[in-house]
Structure 1
Amino acid sequence: MKILTRRELPGALCEFKRVMRALFGECVYDVKHMMRFCQKRLYGGLDRVALTLQVNRAVGKCHQAGSDSLLTWHAFQRMRDLYFLQDGPEKHAGVLYGLEIV
């Protein structure tokens, strides 16, 4: 967000979410938040979650932005297909783990 806006991050959550929606739209999903609502409780970091979901890293190494982003996308798709097929993930859109949920 800082790179895209060339400004400091907003100080208030409501302003942060407003800018986030303007940049990325309404359908922003936080995998860490969604993990809490999976029938098979998922926990840990990205690599552990991917292992549990049987998702393989397609390219690169851990802690590289592109590789981690792609693995996160694949983990989200797998979570959606396994745990959110009936209801869909939409009720979790826009919720950011650690900022809103304690």
Structure 2
Amino acid sequence: IEGYNMLEFLMYQKYVWFMFMLFPVSLVWFSSCLAETNRTPFDFAEGESELVSGFNVEYSSGGFALIFLAEYSSILFMSMLFVLMFMGGNMNSGI
């Protein structure tokens, strides 16, 4: 692959997914995505009675909604990149 063109990533994965060829890299990417989005193994341990929602308590309903939309859109974006880079997108839809 000569660049960061996502179509080239898809075309190179026509027969074999990069997830199988680059298994350690895909695990590192997946774990870094989990860490970036503060998901289960990397989130802060908190008691519900001690912390309500962290720094989000400071914001009103509009700001609170925008923060949560931004967090979940980053999760969707990272998932999309993982599927494109390691699972071939929808090139192998017959599997």
**Could you tell me the TM-score, scaled by structure 1's length?**
0.28
Considering Cα pairs closer than 8 Å and 6+ residues apart, tell me whether 1 or 2 has the greater RCO: 2
Q: Larger Cα Rg: Structure 1 or Structure 2?
A: 2
From the two aligned structures, give the one with the greater helix fraction.
Answer: 2
